[in-house]
């Protein structure tokens, strides 16, 4: 079985730039406040989710890998 990941968005830091959605649209969406939120961790492969986190201009996305 592969490693699972947990993905968190720091709502206090998020500026709603949507770069995470560009890279992983099946995982992220904007909430009613225009902040990124995780909707489906299994929506994209982990490489796409990592790209999304790396693209965040203010590093509001954290990925935790479960061993």
If one counts every other C-beta atom within 10 angstroms of the C-beta of residue 67, the result is 4
Q: What CATH number is associated with residue 35?
A: 3.30.70.20
pLDDT means over runs of 10, the chain (67 residues): 82 96 96 96 92 97 90
Buried-exposed string 20-31: b where 16+ CB fall within 10 A, e elsewhere? bbebbeebbeee
Name the domain count of the chain.
Answer: 1
pLDDT at 2: 55
Q: Is the pTM of this model over 0.85?
A: yes
CA distance 25 to 39: 9
Show the domain range for 44: 4-66
Rounded distance, CA 34 to CA 17, Å? Answer: 9
Question: Which pLDDT score, from 0 to 100, does residue 1 have?
Answer: 44
> How buried is 5 (Cβ within 10 angstroms: 0-12 exposed, 13-18 middle, 19+ buried)?
middle
């Amino acid at each position: 079985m592969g490693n699972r990941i947990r993905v968190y968005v720091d709502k206090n830091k998020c500026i709603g730039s949507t770069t995470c959605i560009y890279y992983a649209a099946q995982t992220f969406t904007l909430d009613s406040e225009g902040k990124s939120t995780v909707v489906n961790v299994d929506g994209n492969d982990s490489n796409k989710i990592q790209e999304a986190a790396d693209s965040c201009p203010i590093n509001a996305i954290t990925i935790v890998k479960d061993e």
